[in-house]
Structure 1
Amino acid sequence: MTGEIHTPDISHRVAEKVAAANGTDPLNLDPLYNRIDPDCLNSLFQDETSEGYVEFLMAGCNVTVQADGTVEVAQSETHEKGAQTGSSGDTMKAPDSLE
């Protein structure tokens, strides 16, 4: 044992927070990969110097993942729980160095 503290991947924290916002278990949600690639999400902001954010809709919630790893979840005002939309509603702000 190395004494390191394990921090859940961003994708796991997203699932947990969206489930909490919907009052359900994360296993009852549609898989995250139906909305965004979890591996890409986990690796996107691994570097502590990363900037930007990713926003997407999941299970009736607006999800924002900040470059510092902060995950914000809020019930969507424009979509009912579980509602399907014709577009993904996903957005991403690239780091300033890439713009």
Structure 2
Amino acid sequence: MPGTTLDFHNDSISLSVIDALADAIGTDPTELDPLYHVVDSEALDQLFTENTTVNGRIQFSYGDHAVEVRSDGTILIDGTVHDRA
């Protein structure tokens, strides 16, 4: 299955989630409500780092959209994988 791999030195997973949501919704990332309204974005970034040894995922809702973040950096919005630009 195609996916995305984060460059953990340069990317935060929370910013990648915002970009994926903006792409899925068809809007500019700056037009979205802050991610921290639905999930602790700092905790999300800390869970999925380069040193992550846990194989897992986090799921949450953002408005009407289902978001899934996997420990390998894959981000799914409503079941569709979104690649980072």
Q: TM range, normalised to the smaller chain? A: 0.7 to 0.9
CA contact under 8 A between 1:50 and 1:68: conserved in structure 2? no
1:55-94 to structure 2, matched below 5 A, reads 55-74=59-78
Report how many residues are paired: 72
Which residue number in structure 1 is paired with residue 34 of structure 2? 31
Name the larger-Rg structure.
1
The answer for unaligned runs of 5 or more in structure 1 is 76-99
Q: Provide the C-alpha distance between the structure 2 equivalents of 1:74 and 1:51, rounded to a whole number of angstroms.
A: 21
**How far 1:6 sits from its partner (Å)?**
5.3
Q: Provide the C-alpha distance between the structure 2 equivalents of 1:30 and 1:19, rounded to a whole number of angstroms.
A: 10
**How far 1:7 sits from its partner (Å)?**
3.5
1:32-47 to structure 2, matched below 5 A, reads 32-46=35-49, 47=51
Runs of 4+ in 1 over 3 A off after TM superposition: 4-7
TM-score, normalised to structure 1, is 0.65
**How far 1:18 sits from its partner (Å)?**
0.5
Q: Provide the C-alpha distance between the structure 2 equivalents of 1:12 and 1:73, rounded to a whole number of angstroms.
A: 14
Which residue number in structure 1 is paired with residue 83 of structure 2? none
Per chain length, whose mean CA-contact separation is higher, i.e. which structure has more relative contact order (CA < 8 Å, sep 6+)?
Answer: 2
The answer for unaligned runs of 5 or more in structure 2 is 1-6, 80-85
Q: Please report the RMSD computed on the Cα atoms of aligned residues, expressed in angstroms.
A: 2.1
Amino acid aligned to 1:67? S
